[in-house]
Amino acid sequence: MSPVTSLIVLSGASFTTSVFTAAVGIGGGIGLLAVMCSFLPFAAVVPVHGLIQLVSNGSRFYLNRELAETRLLPAYAAGVLLGAGVGCLLLGNVPNANLSKLLGVFILLYTWTSVLRCVGKFIGNFMILGCIQAFLSLFVASVGTISQPVLIKQGLPKDRVIVTHAMQMTVLHSAKVAAFVISGFSFYHYWKVALAMTLTSALGSYVGGSLMKIIPERIGTLLLKLGISAFAALMIAGVSA
């Protein structure tokens, strides 16, 4: 597939998954990850995905920063730095083929089970939470859902959970991007992809917001899960676009 065609497909996927997230409420990050694995070199998937998520979460946090529980940030940030530091030492030491299959299995578990949410229910310390998420995110990319049960346990209202989660993910993805830069990954080679996907994601959020009351949640969620699963199955089978 030509670079131009890949860029168009990835931009379309960024737009579509963003629409689903805004309209249905779930799945955008993991859905986008599944598609990216079929159109980008595997070594570029996690770092580029992290950069896009950094912009997405950072903007969401900044626009509603007054709702964030900043008192929870120091311990979480310390854990993120520790986890990212340890994970950075291991980057490049695991064959991409094995990581691709691992990521495919992870995506299926994420999509069809509540494994990550269950993990989050047993973690109450934000430093431990940040450490675990930062380490795992360098290899499986999308682990944000682990922190949501922990935030809910704090008794925060929904709006504060959403913005505080965006704050945490901004720190997490910042550390992830830094870890990949330190490890020698060049984001410059993918700036066109990152820019296009960031812009189409923002557009998708706007369109999805207007469709929120039109698309039935059950149907939208099922369609998204089926699409994600198809790409995850291709990853496990070792098939790429």
Q: Which residues are CB-neighbours of 114 under 8 A, at least 6 positions away?
A: none
139 and 89 Cβ atoms separated by less than 8 Å = no
| pTM as predicted | 0.74
The neighbour count for residue 60, using CB atoms within 10 Å, is: 18
Interatomic CA distance for residues 146 and 26, integer angstroms:
14
Q: What is the mean predicted confidence (pLDDT) over 82-92?
A: 88
Statement: residue 95 has pLDDT above 80: no
pLDDT tens readout for residues 125-151 = 899 889 988 998 888 767 777 777 788
Q: Which of 55, 66, 65, 62 is nearest to 18 (CA)?
A: 55
Interatomic CA distance for residues 44 and 50, integer angstroms:
10
Q: What is the C-alpha radius of gyration for the chain, rounded to an integer number of angstroms? A: 17
Q: What local confidence, expressed as pLDDT, does residue 240 receive?
A: 43
Statement: residue 62 has pLDDT above 80: yes
Confidence of residue 232 (pLDDT cuts 50, 70, 90): low
Statement: residue 29 has pLDDT above 80: no
Statement: residue 10 has pLDDT above 70: yes
- Write down the domain spans for the chain: 3-237
